[in-house]
Structure formats: C-alpha cells, structure tokens
C-alpha cells in the first residue's frame, strides 16, 4: 500500500493543511483541508473515506468531495466511521441546514454517499488492504487506524491523549514500521492539552515508554500547532530520547 499525506497540520495558513491522507488512489483517511489540493480526476477515484472523529479539521472536505464528484460516479462514496461519529455527522453536518444529506439524494436507492459503521478492533478488508479502527481517547468519540500492507503495518493514532488501549494494539503489531501520532501542544500548554485531550511532549514521552516492540517503529509527529511547530518539535526531540522521531510532512509518502 502507498499512503500519501495530504495534510497534517493543526491548522491552516500558507501551505498548511489539516489532517487527510490518501491510501493508494481510492481511500481517504480523514478528509481535512488537504483534500482540496487533489485534482478533479483524483477526487473522482475516491471510493472510501475512513473518519477518525467528527471534528471539523478532519471532516471539512467530505461535503465538498461528495458535492463535486457524486454525480460523476456510478457508485456512492462510502463514509466509514463508528456509530457515534456517524450519528454526529448526520445530525450536525449532513442535516440540510449545514449541508444536504447526500445519503438520500439524488435518490435514496442510489445516493451519492452511503455510511458504513465501524467497530473498534474489527478489520475492514478492501481487496486485501486491511484497515482496523483502534481505540483513541479524545473529547468526542474517536479512533485511530492500523493499515496492514504486504510487508509491514502503519498505525495512525488520530487525535488522542493518554490511552493505554492504543499501546496494546501497537505492541501486538509485530510488523509495525511506522507510527504517526499527534502532539498538538507544547509543554507550556500541558493543562490545555489535558483538557482538550491532546498530547504534549511530556505526555508523548510517557506514552512512547509503553512501546514493548523489539524493533521500534519510525515515529512521525502530526497535528502540530501553526506558529509553534518548530518549538514543539524541539521539545519532543529533547523529551523522547532513544526514539526516531520526525515531523510528518505534507506530500510525504509511505509504502508498506
């Protein structure tokens, strides 16, 4: 599998885009503002959107995607998320007030969009590409995802704070090559990180110490706040000695 990062910032401005990743050419992992950089031909190929949680920086471009390409496609785009997240999207986004309900137009029997309910730990197999929702701990119902390729696996934490359940999955993924994990705040805002259920460098250090794998994965940091990303990354590098930690970059590609 090939995973291309479309956006990985905690905000916008200039070239910054919010969270979205393109798996091969037909699956989105979250749909933040990075989706807007795809060409029309690339947008038409997207069959599936896997959503970690309902916050706007992760779902903002689902409505625009469906509105743009729905009429061009012979099959609906499938939005995959937990029951709790899909209910939030139905009530607060695709509700005819913020955006039309594309799950019933142009025809309820042949809509532009359909929903698929995920359960934590239950793998979705799309032609041999295995995607498993993992536990996350955030202010709204949330998950991360494990992507299993032919030779290795990648885990994306989604938005989360301290979360023992995630590390149980990490430690049982023996072929884990890449770990993408958020760190939204610096340690000077640790209290804010705790309240908003994100990570900061000191909390990240505590979480990474739970890794028991003999071969440690490469670790990439996502969701850094604009204007603070360099300073947060320096704090991380000082806090997590012994781990290979890098900044996740837009247009970065992982193959596994």
Q: What is the pLDDT of residue 244?
A: 84
Domain tally, the chain: 1
Extract the residue ranges of the chain whose pLDDT is less than 50. Answer: none
Q: What is the pLDDT of residue 212?
A: 96
We report the CATH number of the domain holding residue 237 as: 3.60.15.10
* Residue ranges making up the domain that contains 145: 2-255
Q: What is the pLDDT of residue 170?
A: 98
Quick check: 158 and 29 in contact, CB under 8 A?
no
Q: What is the pLDDT of residue 242?
A: 84
């Amino acid at each position: 599998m090939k995973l291309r990062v479309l956006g990985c910032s905690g905000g916008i401005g200039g070239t910054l885009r919010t969270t979205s990743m393109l798996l091969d050419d037909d699956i989105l992992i979250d749909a933040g503002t990075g989706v807007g950089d795809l060409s029309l031909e690339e947008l038409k190929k997207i069959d599936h959107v896997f959503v970690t949680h309902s916050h706007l920086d992760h779902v903002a471009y689902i409505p625009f995607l469906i509105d743009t390409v729905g009429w061009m496609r012979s099959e609906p785009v499938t939005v995959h998320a937990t029951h709790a997240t899909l209910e939030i999207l139905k009530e607060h986004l695709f509700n005819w007030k913020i955006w039309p309900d594309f799950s019933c137009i142009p025809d309820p029997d042949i809509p532009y969009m359909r929903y698929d309910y995920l359960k934590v730990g239950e793998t979705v197999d799309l032609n041999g590409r295995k995607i498993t929702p993992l536990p996350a701990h955030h202010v709204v119902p949330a998950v991360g995802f494990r992507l299993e390729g032919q030779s290795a696996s990648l885990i994306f934490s989604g938005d989360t704070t301290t979360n023992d359940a995630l590390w149980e999955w990490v430690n049982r993924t023996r072929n884990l090559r890449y770990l993408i994990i958020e760190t939204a705040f610096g340690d000077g805002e640790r209290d804010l990180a705790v309240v908003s259920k994100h990570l900061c460098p000191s909390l990240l250090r505590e979480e990474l110490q739970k890794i028991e794998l003999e071969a440690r994965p490469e670790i990439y940091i996502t969701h850094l706040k604009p204007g603070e990303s360099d300073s947060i990354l320096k704090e991380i590098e000082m806090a997590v000695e012994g781990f290979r930690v890098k900044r996740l970059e837009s247009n970065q590609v992982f193959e596994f």
